[in-house]
């Protein structure tokens, strides 16, 4: 293993942007040097983390009645353009395929910027009767958007990985029920698997998904105080079913247009938030449930003659952990233990087990937590304790992140205060609901949600609501 060489000089996390780029490369998350701007090469460690998220999310979706599907990446122009608001929202960002070899294609084909249109074209064929409803499908795939803004690895790119869910409902109530269920599923993914806090914000109308009646966004706060939208859930009403003519026969034999919902978290943005929220000066800090490797065993050998016995002990520990489904490896490389510690800390592996001559003699194991650096010893017969330590770690990481999050909540009674807190976190402000006042506020921050307690508008002084606002990624 020659992976131990440090590629670049270490960066402190207080310089968040430099630190972020350092760790993406150092930990083999992605390589952003590919020759198309905004398109990344996902590397082993990054992709393994994404796969864990994907596995967890897909199983929750399938438990809740979603069928796995995979639709083609190309969408014909006439289908993508059917819902006028939808295409208006994406027009500027679509990549087009216009040729096959030398021949110009009869109809232009779009690289999917999202899959509502291609999926609903098939929903029209699949849905006949009320017994076909609800119909729920999901797919994990890449989508393509020609971003003109400054691209940033995993946060804003031209190709990104996500999971998108699409559901067809007989009525509005079933659609609302599904929105709550999906919010719950995404909440589990973000809080339980990734140990991150979040807000659910119902977006103002100009910030909705193109073609939706309502958009509920999951926002988290990055350590620099800007918010990052990590997932969205859309209430599509009957906007798409009307233009795609998706109907079902109700129990009285009448044809009705279906109601629809669509939703998706971005795996890249979730990963960016995970790295930034939990990481420290030494590198990644991964919550146990998401870590591709949960335990690294490092044999500490002083005398050559001890090697065989210590290695055998390490393997015995590993076997026990394997039987508990704990993702474990032994680092038997030639390097000094210090270099190994440094490397696996940078990779964010939650627990390091050190086994040396003293541990072997006393049938003990030295355990070091990545998040706190706390060192303890457990008996070989109590290896099960590792799971208890994982639980404590998840809880502690969640609480620490929550504390950081709560420390970035401000209130601005007047417009001057908005300027004071802009870029430091989420600001509660009074807003009357008028676009003109939002634009005035928008000089500093964007309005994240539209629901809140009664509060006077910071711009015009009229009656309004206390809403959340922030500088966003």
Q: Where along the sequence are the contacts to Zn ion (CB under 5 A)?
A: 432, 434, 437, 457, 459-460
* Cβ atoms < 10 Å from Cβ of 453: 9
- Tokens linked to 297: 């065993």
The distance of closest approach from Cβ of residue 414 to Zn ion in the complex, given in angstroms and rounded to an integer, is 13
Q: Residue 241's closest CA among 261, 254, 260, 255?
A: 260
Please work out, in degrees rounded to the nearest 5, the angle formed at the alpha carbon of residue 194 by the alpha carbons of 31 and 404.
100
**143 vs 459, beta carbon nearer Zn ion:** 459
| Closest approach of Zn ion to the CB of residue 429, in Å | 10
3-state SS, residue 149:
coil
82 in helix, strand or coil? coil
CA angle 297, 194, 378 (to 5 degrees): 30
- Of the pair 60, 459, the CB lying nearest Zn ion is at 459
Question: Any idea of the CA torsion for 348, 48, 180, 227, to the nearest 10 degrees?
Answer: 50
C-beta of 24 vs 457, nearer to Zn ion = 457
Q: Which among 222, 225, 230, 231 has a CA at the least distance from the CA of 276?
A: 222
Residue 463 beta carbon to Zn ion: minimum distance, rounded to whole angstroms: 9
Residue with tokens 């620099």: 224
The nearer residue to Zn ion, 215 or 465, going by C-beta atoms, is: 465
Report in angstroms how near the CB of residue 418 gets to Zn ion at its nearest: 13
Is residue 251 packed enough to be buried (19+ CB in 10 Å), middle (13-18) or exposed (0-12)?
exposed
**Beta carbon nearer to Zn ion, 355 or 437:** 437
Residue 444 C-beta: closest distance to Zn ion, Å: 15
**Nearer CB in complex with Zn ion: 230/457:** 457
User: 323: part of which helix (H) or strand (E)?
Assistant: helix 307-323
Query: In terms of CB distance, is 310 or 457 closer to Zn ion?
Result: 457
* CA distances (Å), origin 140, targets 14, 104, 157, 263: 34, 31, 17, 12
The distance of closest approach from Cβ of residue 263 to Zn ion in the complex, given in angstroms and rounded to an integer, is: 31
Q: Smallest distance from the beta carbon of 201 to Zn ion, in angstroms?
A: 19
Shortest CB 416 distance to Zn ion, Å: 16
Q: Cβ atoms within 10 A of the Cβ of 75, count?
A: 24
CA distance 92 to 191: 34
Residue closer to Zn ion, measured from CB, 167 or 457: 457
Cα separation, 457 vs 44, in Å, equals 49
């Amino acid at each position: 293993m020659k992976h131990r060489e440090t590629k670049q000089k270490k960066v402190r996390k207080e310089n968040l942007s430099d630190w972020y780029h350092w760790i993406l490369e150092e930990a083999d998350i992605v390589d952003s040097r590919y020759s198309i701007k905004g398109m990344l090469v996902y590397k082993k460690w990054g992709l393994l983390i994404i796969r864990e998220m994907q596995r967890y999310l897909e199983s929750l979706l399938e438990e809740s009645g979603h069928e796995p599907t995979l639709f083609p990446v190309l969408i014909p122009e006439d289908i993508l353009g059917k819902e006028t608001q939808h295409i208006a929202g994406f027009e500027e960002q679509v990549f087009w395929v216009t040729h096959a070899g030398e021949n110009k294609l009869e109809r232009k084909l779009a690289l999917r910027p999202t899959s509502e249109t291609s999926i609903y074209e098939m929903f029209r064929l699949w849905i006949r009767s009320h017994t076909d409803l609800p119909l729920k499908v999901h797919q994990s795939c890449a989508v393509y958007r020609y971003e003109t803004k400054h691209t940033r690895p995993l946060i804003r790119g031209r190709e990104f990985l996500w999971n998108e869910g699409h559901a067809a409902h007989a009525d509005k109530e079933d659609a609302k029920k599904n929105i709550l269920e999906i919010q719950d599923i995404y909440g589990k993914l973000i809080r339980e698997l990734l140990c991150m806090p979040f807000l659910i914000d119902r977006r103002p109308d100009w910030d909705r998904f193109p073609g939706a009646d309502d958009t509920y966004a999951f926002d988290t706060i990055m350590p620099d105080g800007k918010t990052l939208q990590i997932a969205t859930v859309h209430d599509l009403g009957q906007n798409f079913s009307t233009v795609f003519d998706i109907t079902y026969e109700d129990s009285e034999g009448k044809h009705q247009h279906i109601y629809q919902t669509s939703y998706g978290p971005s795996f890249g943005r979730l990963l960016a938030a995970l790295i930034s929220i939990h990481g420290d000066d030494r590198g990644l800090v991964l919550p146990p449930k998401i870590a591709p490797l949960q335990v690294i065993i490092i044999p500490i050998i002083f005398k050559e003659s001890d090697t065989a016995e210590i290695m055998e002990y390490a393997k015995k520990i590993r076997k026990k952990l394997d039987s508990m489904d704990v993702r474990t490896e032994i680092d038997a490389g030639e390097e000094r233990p210090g270099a190994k510690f440094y490397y696996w800390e940078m990779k964010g592996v939650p627990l390091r087990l050190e086994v040396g001559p003293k541990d072997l003699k006393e049938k003990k194991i030295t355990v070091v937590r990545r998040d706190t650096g706390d060192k303890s010893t457990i008996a070989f017969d109590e290896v099960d304790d590792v799971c208890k330590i994982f639980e404590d770690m998840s809880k502690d990481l969640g609480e620490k992140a929550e504390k950081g999050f709560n420390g970035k909540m401000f209130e601005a009674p007047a417009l001057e205060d908005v300027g004071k807190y802009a870029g430091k976190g989420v600001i509660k402000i009074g807003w009357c609901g008028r676009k003109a006042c939002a634009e005035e506020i928008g000089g500093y921050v964007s309005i994240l949600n539209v629901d809140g307690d009664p509060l006077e508008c910071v711009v015009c002084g009229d009656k309004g609501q206390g809403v959340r606002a922030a500088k966003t990624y």
